[in-house]
Amino acid sequence: MPPRERKPALAALAVLLILGGALATTLLVLRSGERVSAIRVGQQVGAGQLVPATALQEVQIAETDIDYVPWTFRDRVAKTYAAVTLLPGTLLTERMVTTDSALVGPGKAIVGLALKAGQAPVGLDVGDVVQVIYVASAGRGSGAVAQQRVLASSARVESVGAPESRTSSTGLVSVIVDSSVAPTIAQYASSGEVALTLLPGVK
């Protein structure tokens, strides 16, 4: 058999490809070891709420192409609003926050309610959507039932006063409502004539 002719150009190309692959693998390994500080959500923040600094945690992640907000921007994030409900353990991205919130912007108001037993569903949480209902007190006569009416058909829970209030139907609750009905709700709330009903199918 005649000896096979060697082609130096092909041999050199093969060597370059092998070296290039080895170099790329080495860079990937080295880069995967590089860590950067990112922001992770440490506590739930309801949609439309101002993001508190206490809800932000520092976490070390590998520097890859995934979307994240650097930890150095934590002060800026603390001045933004949650565009969606932020869940604990979630890596924060820019799309999750906004500098403006329609929920607490112009035309909206936050009203505080001191609720008694039976005036709110058990397990009420931040971000829930509720109806605010006027419930006439027993001392207003036999026509009290007819006077009951919806004051706000879709109000979002902004805060729940104490942790124990989530396992009962009493406690301090703040809701976001239209500013036009806020004075009426505040007036009825002061006399204990306001109740909340949960709308679980509304986000």
pLDDT for the residue 25: 61
Tell me what pLDDT residue 164 has.
47
Tens place of pLDDT for every residue, the chain, 203 residues? 555 555 566 666 666 666 666 666 656 555 555 788 999 999 888 777 788 999 999 998 887 777 889 999 999 998 888 877 788 888 998 888 887 666 666 778 888 898 888 888 888 887 888 999 998 876 655 554 546 789 999 888 888 875 444 555 567 898 888 888 999 999 999 888 999 998 876 65
User: What's the pLDDT score for residue 116?
Assistant: 86
Question: Residue 165 has what pLDDT?
Answer: 46
pLDDT at 45 (0 to 100): 82
* pLDDT value at residue 84: 73
At 23 the three-state DSSP class reads helix
The Cα 129–Cα 105 span in angstroms is 17
Query: Rounded distance, CA 158 to CA 148, Å?
Result: 24
Q: Is 86 exposed, middle or buried (0-12, 13-18, 19+ CB in 10 A)?
A: buried
What is the pLDDT at residue 4?
Answer: 54
Side by side, the strands of the sheet bearing 108-115 are 108-115, 171-178, 149-160, 129-134, 194-198
Under 8 Å between Cβ of 78 and 56: yes
Supply the pLDDT for residue 134.
93
What is the reported pLDDT for 194?
A: 93
Burial of 4 (0-12, 13-18, 19+ CB in 10 A): exposed
Structure confidence at residue 57 (pLDDT) = 92
* Per-residue model confidence (pLDDT) at position 163: 45
CATH for the stretch 8-100: 3.90.1210.10
